[in-house]
Amino acid sequence: MLKLTKLGVSVLGSRVLSVRGRKSGELRSVPVNLLKLDGERYLVAPRGVTQWVRNLRVAGEGQLSVGRRTETFTYTELADHEKPVILRAYLKRWKFEVGVFFDGVDAKASDEELLAIAPGYPIFKIA
């Protein structure tokens, strides 16, 4: 997916996320799925608090790219009580790709089930 996205082919909303390393200061890049929902855009970390999440929290901004198009962004990190609707939409769209990281929880889960797992999945609303 990373190679296709770098070439400008967005597979189901994929982007290349680039963030300055919190220790090295060098740009680090990873493929991500950008969720568009109700006119807003979100980055969900399906693997939890990974290096890109830690780097983004320290840097305060990142870049999203598809091919040669790059956008610098800032964000707001969502509180756990705001996450169920986003997690449900994310799982509905990308369960085939990331469902294994959600321990059997899927888009049909109740709000209570999604709220219970919310602390393990950082979500960033793109400004």
Helical H segments across the chain, by residue range: 2-6, 51-59, 83-98, 111-117
What integer is the mean pLDDT of 119-126?
98
What integer is the mean pLDDT of 38-53?
97
Spatial separation of the C-alpha atoms in residues 72 and 74, rounded to whole Å: 7
- Res. 11: pLDDT tops 70: no
Average pLDDT of every residue of the chain: 90
Class in CATH terms, 2-126: mainly beta
pLDDT (0 to 100) of residue 9: 47
Q: What is the pTM of this model?
A: 0.88
Domain ranges of the chain: 2-126
pLDDT (0 to 100) of residue 8: 47
- Res. 84: pLDDT tops 50: yes
